[in-house]
Amino acid sequence: MDNKDSLKAQLISDFQAIEGRMNGEAKSPVHQVRQEALKTFETLGFPTIKHEEWKYSNVKNLINQAFEFNAPSDFSAQDVADSSIPNLEGNILYFVNGVYNAELSSIVSPSSELQILTFAEAVKQEPALVEQYFNKYSDSASNAFTALNTAFAHNGIFVHVPANKVVEQPVILRFIADARNVNVASQPRNLIVVGKRSQVQIAEAYRSLGDNSSFTNAVTEFVVEEEANVHYYKVQNESDKAYHIGTTSVLQAGKSVFTANTVTANGGFVRNNLNIKIDGEYAEANMFGLYIPNKKQHIDNHTVVDHAKPNSESHELYKGILKDNSVGVFNGKIFVRQDAQKTNAFQSCKNVLMSENASMNTKPQLEIWADDVKCSHGTTTGQLNEDALFYMQARGISKDSARALLMLAFAQEVIDKMQIPAIKEYLQELIIDKIYQG
C-alpha cells in the first residue's frame, strides 16, 4: 500500500470512528449526505496529474504526508494580538485547527439581523435550512476533496441573514492552522444563506503558524436569494509548508449581486475553486483575484460561472505576479445555457513574470449554447513594460524601486475592489512587503 492509499484508508477509518459523534443518529438527512460523500471519495480517490482538472497541480507531496486532524492547540489571546489584522472591526470568529474558539471570538451584530451558529449546532437547531441547502450546489460528486470535506462536515460555521436585513458589521472568519508542534489538518464546512433583499460582507482569512506542514480542505457554500447583495473576501497568508484546497460554491437567485475577491499572498500549495451558478434573471456575479507567489509556491485558481437564466452578467478579472521558481495556474470556465439569452460575460487573466524560472499555465474556456449574448475571454502573460522602467529610471528612480512601483500599480486594480478598509490596508502592506522581497 503506497502513501496515497494509506492516507485514503486512514481517512475512511477515521470517518467510521467518529461518525457517531458527528451526528448521533445515522439516519438523519445530513448524515446520509455525509455517508454518500464518503462513498464518492472512496470511488474517486485523490486526483493525479492525469485528471484534466489537476493537470498542472500535483498533490503527491500533500498526500505523502501524515497530518493530525483538528489537533489541540494552545493558541492564545496573545497569539490573536500577534496575528490580528489592525483596526479590523466586526463579527470576528476564530477557528483554530478547524475548531471554533468562542472565547477568542466576538459577535457584535444583533441576532435580529444575523444568525451565527457552528455547523454542528446548525444541524441540530436549524435542520430545515441545513437540509435544504447543504451540499445541494457543491461539486462533491466530481471533486474528491469536496467529497472528503462533505463526509467530515462537522466543524465550520452557519450564517443566516433573514430577508430585508442590512448587516452593518462584516462577518470575519479567521482560520488559524497552528503547526508549531505537529503537522495539522482541518476541514471546515461553512454554509451561508442570505435572504431576499439583504446585504452582508463575509471574509475568510487563512493564516498558518509554525514550521510544520498544514493542510486545510475548506468548503464554503453560499445561497444568495432574490435581490440580495453579498461581498465575499478570501485572504490567504499561509506558510511555505501550507497546503490549502478550498472550494466556494455559490447559487444566485434573480436580481442578486455576488462579488468575490480572492487574494493569495502566501502559501506553499494553494488550489482555489470558485463555482457560481446564476439561476435567476438580472443577476450579477463579479470575480476578482490576485496572487503573488514567490520561491517555489504554487497557486492554482479554477473558476466556473454557469449562466442558467437570461439577462444576467458576470465580470471576472484575475491578476498574477510570479517571482523566483513559482508556478501559477488559472482555469476559467464560462457556461451560457440555451435559455440564458442576453447574457453578458467577460473574463480576463493577466500575469507578469518577474523571473525566467517562474511559469504560468492558463486555460480560459467559453461554452455558449445561446445565440443572443455578449461574451469574451482573454489571457496575457509577459514581462514588465521595459519602456515604463526606462522612463522611471531616467527620472532618478532606482530599477528595483521602479519594478516594485509598477508591480504595485498592476496589483492595485484588484485591491481597490475591497470594501473593508482594514482588510484593504492590511493587504496593501502585505503585498508591498511581498513585492520588495528579493
The tens digit of pLDDT for each residue in 185-240 reads 999 999 999 999 999 999 999 999 999 999 999 999 999 999 999 999 999 999 99
Q: How far, CA to CA in Å, does 348 sit from each of 34, 303, 310?
A: 37, 12, 22
Q: Which residues pair with 344 in a beta bridge?
A: 313, 374
- Using alpha carbons, select from 102, 93, 106, 3 the residue that is nearest to residue 45: 3
Task: State the pLDDT confidence band at 81, using cuts at 50, 70 and 90.
Answer: confident
> Is it the case that residue 347 has pLDDT exceeding 90?
yes
The pLDDT score that the predictor gives to residue 218 is: 98
The tens digit of pLDDT for each residue in 147-170 reads 999 999 999 999 999 999 999 999
CB 283, CB 255: distance < 8 Å: yes
Task: State the pLDDT confidence band at 23, using cuts at 50, 70 and 90.
Answer: low
Residue with the larger pLDDT of the pair 24 and 423: 423
> Is it the case that residue 402 has pLDDT exceeding 50?
yes
The pLDDT score that the predictor gives to residue 102 is: 95
CA pair distance 264, 249, nearest whole angstrom: 18
Mean pLDDT score, 361-388: 87
Task: State the pLDDT confidence band at 379, using cuts at 50, 70 and 90.
Answer: confident
Q: DSSP letters of 36-104?
A: HHHHHHHHH-S--TTSGGGTT---HHHHTS--EET------HHHHHHHPPTT--SEEEEEETTEEEEEE
- Mean pLDDT across the chain: 92
Sequence-separated (6 or more) residues with CB below 8 Å from residue 221: 133, 134, 135, 136, 137, 138, 190, 191, 192, 248, 249, 250, 251
> Is it the case that residue 257 has pLDDT exceeding 60?
yes
The tens digit of pLDDT for each residue in 6-17 reads 788 888 888 888
The pLDDT score that the predictor gives to residue 425 is: 92
The tens digit of pLDDT for each residue in 411-422 reads 999 999 999 999
The pLDDT score that the predictor gives to residue 383 is: 82
CA pair distance 155, 433, nearest whole angstrom: 33
Sequence-separated (6 or more) residues with CB below 8 Å from residue 31: 19, 22, 23, 25
> Is it the case that residue 434 has pLDDT exceeding 80?
yes
The tens digit of pLDDT for each residue in 271-319 reads 999 999 999 999 999 999 999 999 999 999 999 999 999 999 999 999 9
- Using alpha carbons, select from 177, 188, 404, 333 the residue that is nearest to residue 268: 177
The pLDDT score that the predictor gives to residue 20 is: 76
Task: State the pLDDT confidence band at 339, using cuts at 50, 70 and 90.
Answer: very high
The tens digit of pLDDT for each residue in 35-56 reads 999 999 999 999 999 999 999 9
> Is it the case that residue 2 has pLDDT exceeding 60?
no
Helix and strand numbers, DSSP H then E, in the chain:
10, 21
pTM of the model: 0.95
Mean pLDDT score, 141-149: 95
The pLDDT score that the predictor gives to residue 107 is: 96
> Is it the case that residue 70 has pLDDT exceeding 60?
yes
Q: Which helix (DSSP H) or strand (DSSP E) does residue 276 occupy? A: strand 269-278
The pLDDT score that the predictor gives to residue 233 is: 97
The tens digit of pLDDT for each residue in 113-135 reads 999 999 999 999 999 999 999 99
> Is it the case that residue 384 has pLDDT exceeding 90?
no
Residue 61: CB atoms within 10 Å: 12
> Is it the case that residue 377 has pLDDT exceeding 60?
yes
Eight-state DSSP code of residue 166: B
The pLDDT score that the predictor gives to residue 25 is: 54
The pLDDT score that the predictor gives to residue 1 is: 44
